[in-house]
A and B are shown apart, each in its own frame.
Chain A
Amino acid sequence: MPVTAQKGFDVEKLRSDFPLLQTSMNGKPIAFLDSAASSQKPARVIEAMDTYYREKHANVHRGVYQLSQEATTAYENARELVRDFINAPSAREVIFVRGCTEGINLVASSFGRRFLDEGSEVLISAMEHHSNIVPWQMACEDRGAKLKVIPVNDAGELQMDEFERLLTDKVKIVALTHVSNTLGTINPVREIIEKAHAKNIPVLIDGAQAVPHMQVDVQELDVDFYAFSGHKVYGPTGIGVLYGKEEWLNALPPYQGGGEMIETVTFEKTTYNELPHKFEAGTPDIAGAIGLGAAIEYVRSVGYEGIHAHEMELLHYAARQLQEVEGIRFIGTAREKASVISFLVEGIHPYDLGTILDKLGVAVRTGHHCTQPLMERYCIPGTVRASLAFYNNKTDIDRLVEGVKRAVAMLR
Chain B
Amino acid sequence: MTINEIQDEIIDEFSLFSDWMEKYEYIIDLGKHLPLIDEQYKDEEHLIKGCQSQVWLHAGLNGDKVAFTADSDAVITKGIIALLVRVLSNQPAEEVARADLYFIDRIGLKEHLSPTRSNGLLSMVKQMKLYGVALHAKN
Chain A residues in contact with chain B, CB under 8 A? 26, 348-352, 354-356, 359, 366-368, 381-382, 410-411
Contact = CB atoms under 8 A, between A and B. Distances in A.
17 contacts: A348-B75, A349-B73, A350-B52, A351-B74, A351-B119, A352-B28, A352-B76, A354-B52, A355-B24, A359-B21, A359-B24, A366-B52, A368-B51, A381-B73, A410-B28, A411-B28, A411-B75
Contacts of B21: 359, 410
B76 A351 contact: yes
A349 B51 contact: no
Given A359-B20, A359-B24, A410-B28, A352 B74 contact: yes
Interface string B10-22: 0000000000110
A393 B118 CA distance: 30
B9 interface: no
A370 to B, nearest CB: 9
B123 interface: no
A356 B24 contact: yes
Contacts of A410: 21, 24-25, 28
B7 interface: no
A359 B28 CA distance: 14
Contacts of B25: 410
Interface string B49-66: 001111000000000000
Range for the number of chain B residues in contact with chain A? 10 to 19
B91 interface: no
Contacts of A381: 53-54, 73
B75 A352 contact: yes
A327 to B, nearest CB: 15
B90 interface: no
B80 to A, nearest CB: 10
Nearest to A359: B20
Contacts of A367: 51-52, 118
Contact of A349 (B24, B53, B118): B53
B76 A355 contact: yes
A367 to B, nearest CB: 5
A359 B25 CA distance: 13
Given A359-B20, A367-B51, A367-B52, A349 B28 contact: no
B89 interface: no
A118 B73 CA distance: 42
Given A349-B75, A351-B77, A352-B75, A382 B28 contact: no
B104 to A, nearest CB: 15
A357 to B, nearest CB: 12
B52 A382 contact: yes
Greatest chain B CB density within 10 A among A349, A356, A367, A382 is at A349
Interface in B88-119: 112, 118-119
A355 B75 CA distance: 11
Nearest to A356: B24
A349 B20 contact: no
